[in-house]
Structure 1
Amino acid sequence: MPRNLKDTLKEIQILLGKPHKRIAGAFKYYLSFLNVKESSEKNEDAAPKEEKIQAVNHGKITWVDVKNPTRKEISELAQKYPFHPLHLEDCVSKSQFPKIEQNDEDRYIFILLRFPSLNISDQSISMNQLCFFLGHNYLVTIHENENSVISKIFEDCKDNEDRRKAYIGNSSSHLLYTIIEQLTEGLSPLLRSILTEVDLVEDIVFDDKVSGVYQVGQLRRKIISLRRVIGPLRALLADMSARVTKFSKSNLSVYYTDITHRVDRTWETLEEARETVDIYKDADFTINTEKTNTILSVLTIIFTLSIPATIVGTFYGMNILLPGGIEGGSWTFFGTYTTLIIIMILATIPALLMYLYFRKKGWF
């Protein structure tokens, strides 16, 4: 049965114990966000092509999975569960910071995580925002990517009763552990991809015929993106262990500690990769600088050796009388090209002497 605006305001009034008028003013924004309509209004929205909210049950535990939520789906969740409007708003907002917040009054935990995923086609890394509402007998997951790990686990629970029992167990906390454990396992392909690129960059950097500036920059960008996600995740998992266990009959601290150790190892691997890539960056800079210096040295030597010929040519290009010049008459005692031969000798001897001096100094 659809709920009208008056009923919604009355429930909020009872919940917070505020006067009706103050409730109407304070929650005007959230009511419009949740898309609550009067019963007399007609909903002209077309029926969705696919069911975005799906549920699966095992014993007393209910798992509700929401894919690509809109405000309509968020409004439905608000009617079924005692979720705070700010938590619901975070679910549809993009690029939220990871957080874990506990609502003691309504007895649920809100968890917002960001997990990286590897695109096999172009080997790029994308970030996915995941939201969890954990209660004593339910777990609500909200995510965007339909091909995510959560969707695969949910389909397994729907189709296979044994898998459902294994994943959900006897508590919603165990189901949350199963999902996060699968998500952290997905970090392994990312690390393998990063380490493979590190090896490739090493070959490129120490090849003096190829520039590795672009490859080093792209790899550093990937590592920085992963560190931005893994860093907050480490702190969040450490805080999550104690809070989530309260919603389970059995102690799950050991399981969550294992996940924390896996994420810590991921962080350490990223730190090693970052330090290695920084070394490669410095090495590439040094190699390119040395290559540039070598080129400049060769060009400088060539220019220096040509100075004597330039000076001699400059004198004979002046409009003055010079021995062997056109005005004074060319020398011919060695033949027709006597003047040219003597000028070439005068230019070559100083250049040869400079060459021998440079070699003695070890400049090249």
Structure 2
Amino acid sequence: MTTELATDNCSFEWLDVTDPTKEELQGIAQQYGLHPASVSDCLQPGHLPKYEQFTGYTFIILRVYMTTAHDEADTVQALTGKIAIFVSERFIITIHRKPWEPIHTIQQTYVHTNRCTSPFHVLNVLVRTGLHTFDEPAVAIDEQLDLYEKKVFLTVRKEPLLKGLYFMKQKLEVMRRLLLHTYDIVDKMDREETANAYTRDVRDLYIKQKSLYDSMYENATHLLNLYFNISAQRTNETMRVLTIFSVFFMPLTFIAGIYGMNFRYMPELEWRHGYPVVLGAMAVVVIVIFFWFRRKRWM
């Protein structure tokens, strides 16, 4: 579906294309003189953000966070939507597979009221809005990190906790990678000859988002490592207790094994007080081992 979003008072065209066919894209490419390579990139659903300069226009791929993403989504396509943008002095073309409501909000707020006077101003607002889509998931992930941190320290090891940490780390890794690739777009828009207050605002927003997601990724990685360390510590504690018990019972088992042998001639079997003597010897062995462990601070 193709929609003309620019008003009659605009000095440029804004063509918004939703879920186009290959033939529709080829028709638009011929009409506006678009390079086949950039049109081919539009058809790749998993393409990462990019910025390319062609003769007569600039081609940008922007990825935005989709609110419909599943909680366990951890891939570029599952978490984000792709917005392909062609922009020149006389037109801006936005192409996307799924409807993206902010485009119509931008049209009503900026274009319809003549607040955007050029295609590059519209581009600036689109990129800024795209970056802002990462605000809400950042807040949600930050709250989840706090929750998982409490669970790691205050609860016993549970598989759902490990699963949740894994998907969170993967999600953060995808978003960090997308923001890293988005840097080229922001940097080219805010270069010295075209920089203004709007592009500087987008750069500041990008730096804020990148720093936030880098910090959360490091926290998630640290929390995951901490989870494994605590799990290993609990396992070691269990093994230490079992080892202590085995050390106590090892000499007792040895003594009981000797007197449990079925030899006919064992002089101790004729002793009147043999049984209490052996029990006493066992008690002495246990006491000696106990104080030895306490001296070594193993207990």
What TM-score results when the alignment is normalised by the length of structure 1? 0.72
Q: How many residues align?
A: 290
Retained in 1: the 8 A contact 2:51–2:184?
no
Residue of structure 2 in register with 1:301 after alignment: 244
Residue of structure 1 in register with 2:105 after alignment: 153
1:100 pairs with one of 51, 54, 72: 51
Matched, 1:207 2:154: yes
**Measured at CA, do residues 132 and 120 of structure 1 come closer, stay the same or move farther in structure 2, by a change above 3 Å?**
closer
Find the aligned partners of 2:287 and 2:278 in 1 and give their Cα distance.
Answer: 14
Retained in 1: the 8 A contact 2:59–2:86?
yes
Compute the displacement of 1:342 (Å): 4.1
Residue of structure 2 in register with 1:322 after alignment: 266
Structure 2's unaligned 5+ residue stretches are none
Find the aligned partners of 1:363 and 1:122 in 2 and give their Cα distance.
Answer: 45
3-state DSSP of counterpart to 1:166: coil
3-state DSSP of counterpart to 1:57: coil
Retained in 2: the 8 A contact 1:98–1:113?
yes
**Measured at CA, do residues 306 and 123 of structure 1 come closer, stay the same or move farther in structure 2, by a change above 3 Å?**
closer
CA deviation string 1:151-209 (max 9, x = no partner): x437xx3xx5x653336622111222222222122121121122112211211221252
Retained in 1: the 8 A contact 2:6–2:112?
no
Q: Which one-letter code corresponds to 2:244 in the other structure?
A: I
Residue of structure 2 in register with 1:37 after alignment: none
Comparing 236-245 and 216-225, the one that deviates more: 236-245
Find the aligned partners of 2:117 and 2:222 in 1 and give their Cα distance.
Answer: 50
Structure 2 counterparts to residues 1-364 of structure 1, below 5 A? 52-58=1-7, 59=9, 60-104=11-55, 107-119=56-68, 122=71, 124=73, 126-150=79-103, 152-153=104-105, 157=107, 164-166=111-113, 169-211=116-158, 212-242=161-191, 245=194, 253-320=196-263, 321-323=265-267, 325=269, 333=272, 339=275, 341-364=276-299
**Measured at CA, do residues 358 and 62 of structure 1 come closer, stay the same or move farther in structure 2, by a change above 3 Å?**
same
Find the aligned partners of 2:281 and 2:99 in 1 and give their Cα distance.
Answer: 82
Q: Which one-letter code corresponds to 1:210 in the other structure?
A: R
3-state DSSP of counterpart to 1:119: coil
Higher RCO (CA 8 Å, separation ≥ 6 residues): 2
3-state DSSP of counterpart to 1:270: helix
Retained in 2: the 8 A contact 1:242–1:253?
no
Find the aligned partners of 1:303 and 1:215 in 2 and give their Cα distance.
Answer: 37
3-state DSSP of counterpart to 1:229: helix
CA deviation string 1:29-50 (max 9, x = no partner): xxxxxxxxxxxxxxxxxxxxxx
Compute the displacement of 1:140 (Å): 0.5
Retained in 1: the 8 A contact 2:87–2:93?
yes
Structure 1's unaligned 5+ residue stretches are 1-51, 246-251
Q: What is the Cα-based RMSD across aligned positions, in Å? A: 2.6
**Measured at CA, do residues 243 and 113 of structure 1 come closer, stay the same or move farther in structure 2, by a change above 3 Å?**
farther
Residue of structure 2 in register with 1:45 after alignment: none
CA deviation string 1:99-151 (max 9, x = no partner): 222222xx11111222333437637460222111112221110112224533x
Structure number with bigger Rg: 1
Percent of aligned positions with the same letter in both sequences? 22
